RNA sequence: GUCCCGGUAGCUCAGCUGGAUAGAGCAACAGACUUCUAAUCUGUAGGUCGCAGGUUCGAAUCCUGCUCGGGACGCCA
């Protein structure tokens, strides 16, 4: 438990006790004491609305209740400087500063671990994300999902969850046949033959590159082989090459997985049949029109039942996916989270039904939908299409915009809000991008610390935190103290954008402090020593936050 | 037609468990570099939180209806 939490807990208990002592409510009636951090500093360090909540129970005016509570609070015990009753009945607490004084030592001691907590209690969470079909390369929209999923995992890890990252490789469906046909067509085209691309073919440049690579390796030897043999080779080649591309692009984007799960492996050990059997046992399967159906409507959310075995005997996309989710759940995770593109949201209800049909609770399963990214270039919306291969690739984004800026930008937006991506703006790398603002704060501190050494200050000296009483110093201290809770909240709400908001605010306080106060001052040794310690703590916290976002923390800019 | 997501400042977006006067960046305007980095800071201006009801001490936040934008509604993946 961190300093801030301890203070909060103590205060909550004190308030609850005061309510009981004042006879305003019985133990059973007592609502949970809610403490908030007021936006306005004149409202104190903490505020509670307990008096308003008790109005109905105690049948008294909120302000009167507040008054009764305040009388019973032991200010000394809870390190309270001052209590005020305000507005309709808020109780504002102004804390003694001593609770802030422990923050710097805590940060310095914990170093790169500062911010980590055990909020998740080691709960086992698995996040499956990206999982792009291996039929080409990664595009803009996938980049958003990749950034979101990765930072979500980082946040889970830091908040004390036991997290595992997984990529589901769709290497068994008809899209792989299409890939083979596409590579084959490009191969033949490259060798001068007049062939058309298949109707559902993949038109991206990567496919052409694959064809060229095959020619480089094997020349025209596949011309002589049977169509079947050639196609088989093209398929496997395309699959391997795509996966290699995807894995490399993701790695360069700072995204790595613990597991790459192959759809084919489900076929190899009868897992699909097992899953279907499981559904049959629960009587969720029936035959109709020559096909086999899953009764997904039995769970209230899906609007129609779903075919799992087609008339021709083959599976639909859903069938191996049910087996896959069974596999995941059988692995014993407390929670499995899927990060999907918005075009798959209609799929959620049937999957949730499947999970229940398999005998698992629906709340073990969660889907985070990543809304669309609209690309703008030259002031115009660019239509994205995988088919025509015209979308901006992750590779281009990394080359032209940079990894840091791309990741920061995507993570700072809520996943369920659509997002406009202005290519020209991103390319310009101007100060319009907040990532530079945050990185600059980090670099600034590094320069200061460097200067401190050069000027002969002892940067590791004992310091007295009590003298950090300037307003901007106190603001920084409070913000530093919030970091562990911010991470825990981001994990619990699956909202990594809390992190970018936080680090931006921290950077802003740092810049403001920097402009208002001088850190290195030979005429004020004690203050300088304390401020150096403060700067070190801020630097560590910014670096830790950026690290979780997957963005570098430069020492110079 | 049904379902999902969104509508907050000129633009792009935050907004926690329902709290006090709704925030930030960019753009605009006015200032601050002989100083630890001006990729910064300070200030000004900018709002019917899509609309209408409801719940309550209190709603951008919860509920209902409507509206606009996007997406999904396959024995495709």
For A229-252, write each residue's pLDDT tens digit.
999 999 999 999 999 999 999 999
> In angstroms, how far is B11 C1' from A251 CA?
34
A354 touches strand B (CB under 7 A): no
Q: Which of A41-55, A371-385, A467-481 has the highest mean pLDDT?
A: A467-481
Tokens matching residue A226 = 């049977």
A516 touches strand B (CB under 7 A): yes
Instruction: Give pLDDT tens digits for A79-96.
Output: 888 898 888 888 999 888
Average pLDDT for A123-128 = 97
Name residues 315-334 of chain A with a Cβ under 7 Å from nucleic strand B. 316-318
> In angstroms, how far is B27 C1' from A134 CA?
42
A520 touches strand B (CB under 7 A): yes
A134 touches strand B (CB under 7 A): no
Name residues 464-483 of chain A with a Cβ under 7 Å from nucleic strand B. none
Residue nearest to nucleotide B6 (CA to C1'): A417
Across all strands, nucleotide nearest A431 (CA–C1'):
B39
Q: Higher-confidence residue: A188 or A33?
A: A188
> In angstroms, how far is B61 C1' from A290 CA?
50
A534 touches strand B (CB under 7 A): no
Instruction: Using alpha carbons, select from A130, A132, A129, A140 the residue that is nearest to residue A406.
Output: A140
| Per-residue three-class SS string for A139-151 | EHHHHHHHHHHHH
> In angstroms, how far is B44 C1' from A507 CA?
23
> In angstroms, how far is B31 C1' from A241 CA?
58
Across all strands, nucleotide nearest A373 (CA–C1'):
B70
Name residues 65-124 of chain A with a Cβ under 7 Å from nucleic strand B. 86-88, 90, 92
Q: Is the pLDDT of residue A297 over 60?
A: yes
What pLDDT is recorded for position A79?
80
Instruction: Using alpha carbons, select from A35, A145, A155 the residue that is nearest to residue A495.
Output: A155
What are residue A261's DSSP bridge partners?
A168
A369 touches strand B (CB under 7 A): yes
Helix (H) or strand (E) holding A464: none
Average pLDDT for A402-423 = 92
Q: State phi, psi for A419 to the nearest 5 degrees.
A: -145, 135
Q: Is the pLDDT of residue A386 over 70?
A: no
A380 touches strand B (CB under 7 A): no
Band of the pLDDT at A9, cuts 50, 70, 90?
A: confident
Q: Is the pLDDT of residue A385 over 70?
A: no
> In angstroms, how far is B24 C1' from A505 CA?
9
Tokens matching residue A119 = 């909020």
> In angstroms, how far is B49 C1' from A416 CA?
18
A432 touches strand B (CB under 7 A): yes
Residue nearest to nucleotide B17 (CA to C1'): A34
Burial degree of A7 (CB within 10 A; 0-12, 13-18, 19+): buried
Full-model pTM? 0.94
Across all strands, nucleotide nearest A511 (CA–C1'):
B40
What pLDDT is recorded for position A43?
84
CA angle A370, A372, A377 (to 5 degrees): 140
Residue nearest to nucleotide B57 (CA to C1'): A52
CA distances from A197 to A383, A482, A528 (A): 21, 57, 70
Across all strands, nucleotide nearest A445 (CA–C1'):
B36
List the end-to-end C-alpha distance of chain A, in Å, as a whole number.
Answer: 35
A311 touches strand B (CB under 7 A): yes
What pLDDT is recorded for position A390?
61
Q: What percent of chain A has pLDDT over 70?
A: 97
Give the contacts of A430 (CB within 8 A, at least 6 positions apart): none
Average pLDDT for A9-22 = 86
What pLDDT is recorded for position A42?
80
A9 touches strand B (CB under 7 A): no
A300 touches strand B (CB under 7 A): no
Instruction: Give pLDDT tens digits for A317-341.
Output: 999 999 999 999 999 999 999 999 9
Nucleotides of B under 7 A from a protein CB: 2-7, 12-17, 19-27, 32, 35-42, 57-58, 69-77
Average pLDDT for A456-484 = 92
Query: For the ranges A149-153, A226-230, A289-293, A421-425, which has the lowest average pLDDT?
Result: A421-425
A552 touches strand B (CB under 7 A): no
CA distances from A127 to A6, A133, A326, A485 (A): 31, 17, 15, 22
Band of the pLDDT at A377, cuts 50, 70, 90?
A: confident
What pLDDT is recorded for position A18?
87
Instruction: Give pLDDT tens digits for A21-57.
Output: 888 888 877 777 888 888 777 888 888 988 888 887 7
Average pLDDT for A416-430 = 83
Name residues 157-176 of chain A with a Cβ under 7 Å from nucleic strand B. 170, 173-175
- Mode of pairing for the β-strands spanning A90-95 and A46-48: antiparallel
Residue nearest to nucleotide B38 (CA to C1'): A515
Across all strands, nucleotide nearest A39 (CA–C1'):
B20
Q: Higher-confidence residue: A68 or A307?
A: A307
Band of the pLDDT at A526, cuts 50, 70, 90?
A: very high
Burial degree of A316 (CB within 10 A; 0-12, 13-18, 19+): middle
Across all strands, nucleotide nearest A348 (CA–C1'):
B4
Q: Is the pLDDT of residue A520 over 50?
A: yes
Average pLDDT for A299-306 = 92
Name residues 207-226 of chain A with a Cβ under 7 Å from nucleic strand B. none
> In angstroms, how far is B33 C1' from A380 CA?
39
CA angle A120, A126, A127 (to 5 degrees): 110
Q: Higher-confidence residue: A218 or A29?
A: A218
Band of the pLDDT at A387, cuts 50, 70, 90?
A: very low
Return mean pLDDT, chain A.
91
A310 touches strand B (CB under 7 A): yes
């Amino acid at each position: 438990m961190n300093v801030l939490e301890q203070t909060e807990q103590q205060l909550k208990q004190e308030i609850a006790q005061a309510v009981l002592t004042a006879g305003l409510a019985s133990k059973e009636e007592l609502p949970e004491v809610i403490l908030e951090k007021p936006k306005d500093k004149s409202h104190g360090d903490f505020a509670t609305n307990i008096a308003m909540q008790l109005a109905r129970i105690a049948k008294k005016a909120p302000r009167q209740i507040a008054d009764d509570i305040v009388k019973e609070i032991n200010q000394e015990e809870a390190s309270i400087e001052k209590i005020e009753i305000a507005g309709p009945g808020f109780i504002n607490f102004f804390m003694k500063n001593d609770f802030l004084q422990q923050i710097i030592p805590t940060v310095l001691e914990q170093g790169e671990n500062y911010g980590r907590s055990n909020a998740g209690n080691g709960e086992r969470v698995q996040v499956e994300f990206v999982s792009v079909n291996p039929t080409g390369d990664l595009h803009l929209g996938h980049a958003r999902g990749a950034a979101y999923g990765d930072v979500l995992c980082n946040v889970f890890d830091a908040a004390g969850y036991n997290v595992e990252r997984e990529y589901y490789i769709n290497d068994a469906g008809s899209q792989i046949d299409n890939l083979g046909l596409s590579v084959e067509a490009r191969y033949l085209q490259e060798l001068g033959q007049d062939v058309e691309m298949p109707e559902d073919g993949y038109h991206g440049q990567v496919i052409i590159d694959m064809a060229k690579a095959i020619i480089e390796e094997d020349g025209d030897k596949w011309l002589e082989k049977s169509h079947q043999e050639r196609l088989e080779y093209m398929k496997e080649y395309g699959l391997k090459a795509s996966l290699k591309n995807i894995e490399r692009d993701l790695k360069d984007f700072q995204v790595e997985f613990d597991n790459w799960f192959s759809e084919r492996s489900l076929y190899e050990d009868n897992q699909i049949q097992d899953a279907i059997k499981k559904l049959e046992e629960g009587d969720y399967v029936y035959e109709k029109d020559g096909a086999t159906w899953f009764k997904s409507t039995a769970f209230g959310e899906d609007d129609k039942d779903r075919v799992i075995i087609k008339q021709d005997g083959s599976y639909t996309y859903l069938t191996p996916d049910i087996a896959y989710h069974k596999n995941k759940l059988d692995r014993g995770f407390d929670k499995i989270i899927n990060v999907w593109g918005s075009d798959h949201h209609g799929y959620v209800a049937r999957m949730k039904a499947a999970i229940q049909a398999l005998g698992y609770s629906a709340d073990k399963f969660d889907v985070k939908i990543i809304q669309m990214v609209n690309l703008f270039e030259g002031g115009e919306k660019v239509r994205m299409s995988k088919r025509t291969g015209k979308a901006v690739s992750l590779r281009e984004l990394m080359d032209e915009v940079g990894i840091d800026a791309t990741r920061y930008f995507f993570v700072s937006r809520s996943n369920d809000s659509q997002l406009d991506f202005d290519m020209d703006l991103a390319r310009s790398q101007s100060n319009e991008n907040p990532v530079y603002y945050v990185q600059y704060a980090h670099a600034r501190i590094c320069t200061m610390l460097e200067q401190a050494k050069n000027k002969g200050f002892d940067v590791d000296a004992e310091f007295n935190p009590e003298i950090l009483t300037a307003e901007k110093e106190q603001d920084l201290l409070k913000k530093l103290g919030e970091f562990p809770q911010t991470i825990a909240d981001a994990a619990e709400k699956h909202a990594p954008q809390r992190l970018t908001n936080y680090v931006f605010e921290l950077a802003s306080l740092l810049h403001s402090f920097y402009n208002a106060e001088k850190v290195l001052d030979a005429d004020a040794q004690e203050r300088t020593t304390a401020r150096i310690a403060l700067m070190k703590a801020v630097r560590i916290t910014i670096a830790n936050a950026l690290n979780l976002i997957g963005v570098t923390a430069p020492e110079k800019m």
